[in-house]
């Protein structure tokens, strides 16, 4: 340290007369001290005010400039030195050096700027103000085709500098994107894919930039998909594959890039990874299996990419994914079920899959996860069944296959995501299926659970789906037995509340169900109708100008239906319904105005 102190004192003196020999030897001494103990030497440099001296020595013409820049780069490896470097005014002279044609000067300057920017708001701001990123980006654009070793090293440093400059900073990343950095880096990757250090730097930069939505369009206009797939095919090490996966995942959120990745052969790579790791017990095997199968499911979220892989149900990829469902591996079961749910996004695919016997595979999978089974697998398999049940022609086939019975085994589940999908699946199955709606609607345990879930205020989705299924059981069965079960189970008040939902479709479903209850068993429902203030709720719906025509129509039908009950009739009279209804005779919707006339006649006749 004494030698260092002497050298620093000498450097102060030598810097005033710029005697190159004595400056050079002092700089050598500094570099040696930094290589021995960087932190200690850096503290000494700061204490003695040498950063200002270094600033004065950064001259483009000087022979020792690369050494000065190298010292700054070494010093800036310490977090506590980055702000002092900015305060000492080192950024503007460093940026000026970027116009040098000397490769060593550019290399050390790139290192210095990159290290000062690392995790430093002040460093990035100073480089931004001086326009440093733009100049570095231009260098990369000019040099990317040059494959000389020295140039590759320089490109690695420049890419690292841009990465440190923009990491975790959306506005600086957006700035790089607007400079056109993405197409340049993709080309660079293509030219230098054999250079490990440079490739890694590109991948990290892509990973950062791909998180930004605005980058996806630029990525989609390049051949990034081909380059990444080509690079992936060459990798044997787990870490390298993981790096590529980290870029692929955010990129694959874009539908156009999904299709490009499928066309570039990524799916085949992923299937190979799955085959190699499915029986592996090492942590990296488990990790790769999850990443590859998750990415596969993500690719199927794009309509075009999904349809391309479905290939009319004959695609080899589709067949391979099907084979995951009976697997002993939970991750593959999950990915297989999610993939089926994604393939089941149009009627044609759904009809084909039900004909091909996929429902049975899903039911067997669910049977393996009843009770204490894997919740994510339960959720995924139920999602797939729900989607498959959407086409009308599939409903009776799926009911005959015993889907409702298997789904009901999950009624005891306390997991809201499973409850939500279970409800949705049953609702899809009974749509237009009177017999099934009748059977399920008279299932006391189901009705009891639905009424319980109608109060699940912490889980709006479960609450909404329970109400909708309760209503659907009545609407599709039109059965007095189902109505009786719902009344006895305490479901009426929930349907009255549902009629005030902010979603018109739910309001309508509730009103139709309430109309059927009133028509099929008014006497049994009377007490609940009074207790849940049905009549005043209907008055509000009819008085509200924002109510849709269907809501007004079904509210009037319901009013007519409850007139046969003395207490409800009295409530109707006390609320002056006739005034509200007579106004609706002039409603622009003919169905509403016609029903208003009929309702007015009924009210007048029974007043």
Contact 470, 494 (CB under 8 A): yes
CA 477 – CA 432 distance, rounded (Å): 8
Confidence of residue 109 (pLDDT cuts 50, 70, 90): very high
**Confidence band for 39, pLDDT divided at 50, 70 and 90:** very high
pLDDT top residue among 456 and 251: 251
Name the pLDDT band for 34 (thresholds 50, 70, 90). very high
Is residue 454 over pLDDT 60?
Answer: yes
Query: Does residue 606 carry a pLDDT above 80?
Result: no
What pLDDT does residue 2 have? 62
Per-residue CA distances from 413 to 130, 272, 418, 486 (Å): 61, 36, 7, 21
Q: Do residues 198 and 188 lie in contact, with contact meaning Cβ atoms separated by under 8 Å?
A: yes
The pLDDT confidence band at residue 168, using thresholds 50, 70 and 90, is: confident
509-514 mean pLDDT:
97
- Tell me the mean pLDDT in the region 318-337: 93
Assess whether pLDDT exceeds 60 at residue 535.
Answer: yes
Q: Which pLDDT score is estimated for 567? A: 94
The pLDDT of residue 211 is 87
> Taking the C-alpha atoms of 161, 254, 189 and 229 in order, what is their torsion angle to the nearest 10 degrees?
140
Residue 62 CA: distances (Å) to CA of 19, 30, 34, 73, 301:
11, 18, 22, 18, 58
H and E: helices and strands count for the chain: 40, 0
Would you state the pLDDT for residue 313?
A: 86
Alpha carbon 296 to chain centroid distance?
15
Q: How far is CA 136 from CA 94, 163, 179, 184, 258, in A?
A: 12, 11, 11, 12, 31
Residue 174's pLDDT is: 94
**Tens digits of per-residue pLDDT, 202-221?**
999 999 899 888 899 999 99
Q: Taking a C-beta distance cutoff of 8 angstroms, is the pair 163, 155 a contact?
A: no
Residues 158-179 have a mean pLDDT of 94
* Segment 565-576 mean pLDDT: 90
Using alpha carbons, list the distances in angstroms from residue 119 to 35, 122, 312, 403.
22, 9, 51, 55
How far apart (Å, rounded) are the C-alpha atoms in residues 453 and 467?
Answer: 8
Q: Is the pLDDT of residue 273 over 70?
A: yes
User: Which DSSP string do the residues of 315-370 spell out, in sequence order?
Assistant: -HHHHHHHTTTT-S-HHHHHHHHHHHHHH-SSHHHHHHHHHTTHHHHHHHHHHTTT
Flag whether pLDDT at 61 surpasses 90: no
CB 550 within 8 A of CB 513: no
- Read off the pTM: 0.83
41-70 burial: b if 16+ Cβ within 10 Å, else e: bbebbbeeebbebbbebbeeebebbbbbbb
Predicted local confidence at residue 23, as pLDDT:
86
- Give the C-alpha separation, 579 to 600, whole Å: 9
**What does each C-alpha distance from 252 to 85, 256, 315 come to in angstroms?**
40, 8, 21
Residues 67 and 23: beta-carbon distance below 8 Å = no
* pLDDT at residue 8, as a whole number: 82
Dist. CA 400–CA 354, nearest whole Å = 12
Long-range CB pairs of 263-270 (<8 Å, 24+ gap) are: 263/225, 263/308, 264/225, 264/226, 264/228, 264/229, 265/229, 265/233, 266/225, 266/228, 266/229, 266/232, 266/295, 266/299, 267/296, 267/299, 267/309, 267/317, 269/229, 269/232, 269/233, 270/295, 270/296
CA distance 483 to 467: 14
Stretch 94-109: mean pLDDT: 95
Q: Are 172 and 132 in contact (CB under 8 A)?
A: no
User: How many angstroms separate the CA atoms of 11 and 236, rounded?
Assistant: 50
DSSP labels for 150-194?
Answer: HHHHHHHHHHHHHHHHHTT-HHHHHHHHHTTHHHHHHHHHHHSTT
For residues 242-248, average pLDDT: 93
pLDDT, residue 165, reads 95
Contact present, 175 and 133 (Cβ < 8 Å): yes
Other C-beta atoms lying within 10 Å of the C-beta of residue 237 = 9
* 384-422 tens-digit pLDDT: 999 999 999 999 999 999 999 999 999 999 999 999 999
Neighbours of 360 (CB within 10 A): 13
User: Mean pLDDT over residues 48-65, rounded?
Assistant: 88
pLDDT confidence band for 59 (50 / 70 / 90):
confident
Residue 298, CA distances (Å) to 273, 292, 338 in order: 16, 10, 9
Cβ(127)–Cβ(165) below 8 Å: yes
Mean pLDDT of the chain: 93
Give the confidence band of 249 by pLDDT, cuts at 50, 70, 90. very high
How far is it, in rounded angstroms, from Cα 268 to Cα 296?
10
DSSP tag of 254: S
Rounded mean pLDDT, 464-478? 97
Question: What confidence score (pLDDT) does residue 18 get?
Answer: 60
Give the C-alpha distances (Å, rounded to integers) separating 153 from 189, 200, 203: 14, 13, 16
Contact 269, 233 (CB under 8 A): yes
Per-residue pLDDT at 352: 95
Closest CA to 176 of 122, 143, 138: 138
> How deeply is 497 buried, as exposed, middle or buried, from its count of CB atoms within 10 A (0-12, 13-18, 19+)?
middle
């Amino acid at each position: 340290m004494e030698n260092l102190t002497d050298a620093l004192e000498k450097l102060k003196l030598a810097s005033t007369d710029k005697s190159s020999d004595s400056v050079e030897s002092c700089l050598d001494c500094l570099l040696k001290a930094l290589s021995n103990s960087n932190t200690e030497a850096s503290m000494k440099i700061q204490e003695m005010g040498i950063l200002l001296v270094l600033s004065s020595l950064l001259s483009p013409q000087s022979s020792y400039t690369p050494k000065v820049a190298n010292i700054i780069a070494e010093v800036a490896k310490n977090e506590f030195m980055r702000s002092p470097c900015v305060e000492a005014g080192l950024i503007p002279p460093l940026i000026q050096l970027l116009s040098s044609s000397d490769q060593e000067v550019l290399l050390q300057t790139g290192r210095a700027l990159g290290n000062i920017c690392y995790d430093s708001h002040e460093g990035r701001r100073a480089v931004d103000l001086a326009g440093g990123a733009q100049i570095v980006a231009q260098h990369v654009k000019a040099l990317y085709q040059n494959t000389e070793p020295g140039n590759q090293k320089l490109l690695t440093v420049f890419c690292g500098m841009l990465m440190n400059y923009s990491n975790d900073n959306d506005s600086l990343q957006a700035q790089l994107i607007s400079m056109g950095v993405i197409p340049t880096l993709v080309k660079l990757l293509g030219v230098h894919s054999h250079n490990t250090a440079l490739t890694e730097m590109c991948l990290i930069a892509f990973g950062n930039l791909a998180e930004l939505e605005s980058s996806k369009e630029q990525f989609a206009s390049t051949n990034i998909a081909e380059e990444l797939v080509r690079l992936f095919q060459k990798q044997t090490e787990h870490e390298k594959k993981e790096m590529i996966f980290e870029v692929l995942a955010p990129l694959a959120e874009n539908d156009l890039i999904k299709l490009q990745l499928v066309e570039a052969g990524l799916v085949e790579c992923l299937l190979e990874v799955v085959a190699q790791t499915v029986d592996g017990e090492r942590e990296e095997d488990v990790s790769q299996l999850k990443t590859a199968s998750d990415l596969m499911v993500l690719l199927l979220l794009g309509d075009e990419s999904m349809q391309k892989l479905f290939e009319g149900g004959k695609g080899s990829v589709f067949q391979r994914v099907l084979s995951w469902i009976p697997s002993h591996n939970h991750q593959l079961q999950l990915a297989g079920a999610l993939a089926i749910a994604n393939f089941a996004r149009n009627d044609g695919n759904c009809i084909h899959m039900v004909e091909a016997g996929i429902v049975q595979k899903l039911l067997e999978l669910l049977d393996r996860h009843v009770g204490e089974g894997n919740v994510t697998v339960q959720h995924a398999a139920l999602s797939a069944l729900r989607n498959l049940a959407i086409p009308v022609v599939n409903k009776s086939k799926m009911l005959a296959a015993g889907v409702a019975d298997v789904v009901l085994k999950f009624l005891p589940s306390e997991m809201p995501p499973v409850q939500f999908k279970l409800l949705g699946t049953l609702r899809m199955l009974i749509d237009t299926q009177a017999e099934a709606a009748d059977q399920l609607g008279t299932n006391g345990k189901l009705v009891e659970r639905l009424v319980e879930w109608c109060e699940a205020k912490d889980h709006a989705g479960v609450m909404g789906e329970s109400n909708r299924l309760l209503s659907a059981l009545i609407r599709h069965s039109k059965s007095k037995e189902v109505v009786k079960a719902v009344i006895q189970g305490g479901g009426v008040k929930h349907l009255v509340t549902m009629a005030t939902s902010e979603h018109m479709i739910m309001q309508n479903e509730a009103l139709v169900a309430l109309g059927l209850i009133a028509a099929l068993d008014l006497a049994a429902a009377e007490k609940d109708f009074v207790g849940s203030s049905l009549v005043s709720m209907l008055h509000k719906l009819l008085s509200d100008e924002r109510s849709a025509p269907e809501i007004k129509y079904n509210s009037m039908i319901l009013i007519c239906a409850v007139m046969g009950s003395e207490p409800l009739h009295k409530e109707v009279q006390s609320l002056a319904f006739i005034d509200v209804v007579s106004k609706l005779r002039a409603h622009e919707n003919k169905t509403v105005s016609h029903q208003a006339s009929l309702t007015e006649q009924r009210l007048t006749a029974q007043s």
